[in-house]
C-alpha cells in the first residue's frame, strides 16, 4: 500500500487505512510512489523503540536511501544529497550532538520559564487586537500564527517586520506536493535572508539566541543559517497549527471545553492531551543503516522507514479510549514531540505558548464559536504540518 493521508473519519482521527494497519501489522511493508519497497511503523511500542535507536538514521545523504516523500521541514531530495549545514534534525551523531548542544542551554525549562511573562504579554496584545475586529474572523491569521511568530522572532532576534516574506516562504516550503523548483525557491529566499541576518548578528550581537549561536566561532555562516532556518520554521508553524487545530477540536468537543473552563488547573494536562490527540507533526522518516529487528519484523539495511506519530498516539494498546479527546487523561508518554536524541528542542516553549494561548483565548472570548460548519474548515492534509488553513470564528 502507499501512504494514506485522507482524514476520512474525522479531522482529528488518523486515516482509517492507517488505523487498520496498526491493528493488523504495526510494522508493515509500504510501497512508495516510485515503486520501491519501504516500511511504515504505526504501533506505539514500535515507533518509540525505533525513535530511540540511532541505527535508524535521520540523514538524507546515505547512499542506501531513497527519499520518496518530503521530510517534514526538509527540502525534498530526489537523489541522495548532503544534509543542509546546520539543519541538525537531519543529522546523526556525532554531527547532530555538536550542533544541538550549542542550543540546549538556550532552551532549558528555566530559560523558558523566564519567558512566561513575555509570552503572556504577546498573547494579551494579540487578543486586544482580535477584540477590535468584527466577527467572523480567521483565527489562524489573527491569533494562532502571529503569537508563535512574535515569540520565536523575539527569541531568535529576527525582526518581526520581516515576517511577511519569511512566513510566505516557510508556508510555501511546507506544501507537500509541488514542483521542486518552487520549494527550492522558497528555501533559497529564506536561507538568503537568514544568512544576512546571522552575519549581522556575528558582527553586532544582541541579546538573542542567534547572537549567542553566532558567538561560537567554530560554527560557519552556513551552519548558523541552517540552524536559524530550522528554528524559525519549527518555531512558528508547529505551535501555530496546535493553537488553531486545538481551538477547533475544543469547540467541537464542548464538554471538554466546559471542563477546562470550569477548572483552569486542567490546562497543563489538557495541552498534553491536545498534543497527543492532534499529533500535528505526524510523519517522520528514518533509514535503516543495518538489518534491524523491530517488534518481530526484520527491517533490511537501506530501507526507508516512515513513522506515524499520530497512529502511535492513537494506539489503544498504550492509551485507553485513544480515539477520544479527554482533558482529564494523563497523556504523558505521548510521542508528539518525538523521542530519543531528536526529541523536540522547543517543547517547553511550545507548552508555555499553548497554555497561555488557550487559557487567555477562552477566558477573553467566553462565547467563542465556529463561524462555519466543521466540514467546511479547510484541513492541511496537503501540508507537512497538519492543522487548518483557516479557522473562521465568531463571538457575541
Residues interacting with ligand HEM, by CB under 6 A?
58, 88-89, 100, 152, 230-231, 234-235, 238-239, 242, 280-281, 284, 336-338, 342, 344-346, 349-350
* Residue in this structure with the C-alpha cell 501540508, named with its chain if needed: 383
Smallest distance, Å, CB 342 to ligand HEM? 3
Nearest CB to ligand HEM, comparing residues 16 and 206? 206
Going by C-alpha positions, the residue among 70, 42, 12 that lies closest to residue 311 is 42
Of residues 115 and 372, the one with the C-beta less far from ligand HEM: 115
- In the complex, the smallest distance separating the C-beta of residue 234 from ligand HEM, rounded to whole angstroms, is 3
Q: Which residue is nearest to ligand HEM (CB)?
A: 346
Judged by CB, which is closer to ligand HEM: 236, or 329? 236
Would you say 95 or 390 has its CB closer to ligand HEM? Answer: 95
Question: Would the CA dihedral through 215, 218, 220, 225 be positive or negative?
Answer: negative
Long-range CB contacts (< 8 A, 24+ apart) of 363-367?
A: 364/127, 364/131, 365/127, 365/130, 365/395, 366/261, 367/395, 367/396
Looking at residue 307, the DSSP 8-state letter turns out to be E
Least distance to ligand HEM from the beta carbon of 316, Å? Answer: 21
Helix (H, G, I), strand (E, B) or coil at 40: strand
CB of 257 to ligand HEM, least distance (A): 19
Q: Which is nearer to ligand HEM, 58 or 256 (CB)?
A: 58
What residues does 222 pair with on adjacent strands? none
**Nearer Cβ to ligand HEM (185/344):** 344
Tell me how long the chain is: 396
- Using an 8 Å Cβ cutoff, are 39 and 69 in contact? no
**Phi, psi at residue 152, to the nearest 5°?**
-70, -35
- b/e for 31-44, b at 16 or more Cβ within 10 A? ebeeeeebbbbbbb
Amino acid at each position: 500500500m502507499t501512504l494514506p493521508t485522507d482524514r476520512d473519519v474525522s479531522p482529528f482521527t488518523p486515516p482509517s487505512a492507517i488505523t487498520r494497519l496498526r491493528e493488523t501489522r504495526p510494522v508493515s511493508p509500504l510501497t512508495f510512489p516510485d515503486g520501491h519497497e519501504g516500511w511504515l511503523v504505526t504501533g506505539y511500542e514500535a515507533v518509540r523503540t525505533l525513535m530511540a535507536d540511532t541505527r535508524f538514521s535521520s540523514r538524507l545523504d546515505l547512499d542506501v536511501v531513497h527519499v520518496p516523500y518530503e521530510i517534514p521541514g526538509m527540502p525534498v531530495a530526489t537523489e541522495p544529497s548532503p544534509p543542509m549545514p546546520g539543519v541538525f534534525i537531519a543529522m546523526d551523531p556525532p554531527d547532530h550532538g555538536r550542533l544541538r548542544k550549542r542550543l540546549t542551554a538556550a532552551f532549558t525549562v528555566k530559560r523558558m520559564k523566564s519567558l512566561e511573562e513575555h509570552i503572556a504579554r504577546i498573547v494579551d496584545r494579540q487578543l486586544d487586537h482580535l477584540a477590535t475586529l468584527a466577527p467572523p474572523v480567521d483565527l489562524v491569521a489573527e491569533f494562532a500564527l502571529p503569537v508563535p511568530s512574535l515569540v520565536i522572532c523575539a527569541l531568535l532576534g529576527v525582526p518581526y517586520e520581516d515576517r511577511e516574506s519569511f512566513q510566505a516562504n516557510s508556508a510555501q516550503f511546507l506544501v507537500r506536493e509541488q514542483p521542486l523548483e518552487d520549494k527550492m525557491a522558497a528555501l533559497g529566499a529564506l536561507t538568503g535572508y537568514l544568512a544576512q541576518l546571522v552575519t549581522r548578528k556575528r558582527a553586532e550581537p544582541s541579546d538573542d539566541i542567534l547572537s549567542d549561536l553566532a558567538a561560537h566561532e567554530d560554527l560557519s555562516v552556513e551552519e548558523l543559517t541552517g540552524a536559524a532556518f530550522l528554528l524559525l520554521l519549527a518555531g512558528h508553524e508547529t505551535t501555530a497549527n496546535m493553537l488553531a487545530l486545538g481551538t477547533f477540536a475544543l469547540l467541537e468537543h464542548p464538554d471538554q471545553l466546559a471542563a477546562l473552563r470550569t477548572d483552569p488547573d486542567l490546562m497543563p494536562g489538557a495541552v498534553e492531551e491536545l498534543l497527543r490527540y492532534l499529533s500535528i507533526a505526524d510523519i517522520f522518516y528514518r533509514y535503516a543503516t543495518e538489518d534491524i529487528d523491530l517488534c518481530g519484523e526484520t527491517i533490511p539495511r537501506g530501507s526507508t522507514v516512515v513513522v506515524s506519530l499520530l497512529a502511535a498516539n492513537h494506539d489503544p494498546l498504550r492509551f485507553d479510549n485513544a480515539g477520544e479527546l479527554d482533558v482529564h487523561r494523563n497523556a504523558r508518554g505521548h510521542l508528539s514531540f518525538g523521542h530519543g536524541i531528536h526529541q523536540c528542542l522547543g517543547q517547553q516553549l511550545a507548552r508555555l505558548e499553548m497554555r497561555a494561548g488557550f487559557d487567555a483565548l477562552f477566558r477573553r472570548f467566553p462565547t467563542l464559536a465556529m463561524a462555519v460548519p466543521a466540514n467546511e474548515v479547510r484541513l492541511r492534509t496537503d501540508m507537512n504540518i497538519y492543522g487548518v488553513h483557516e479557522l473562521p470564528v465568531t463571538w457575541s
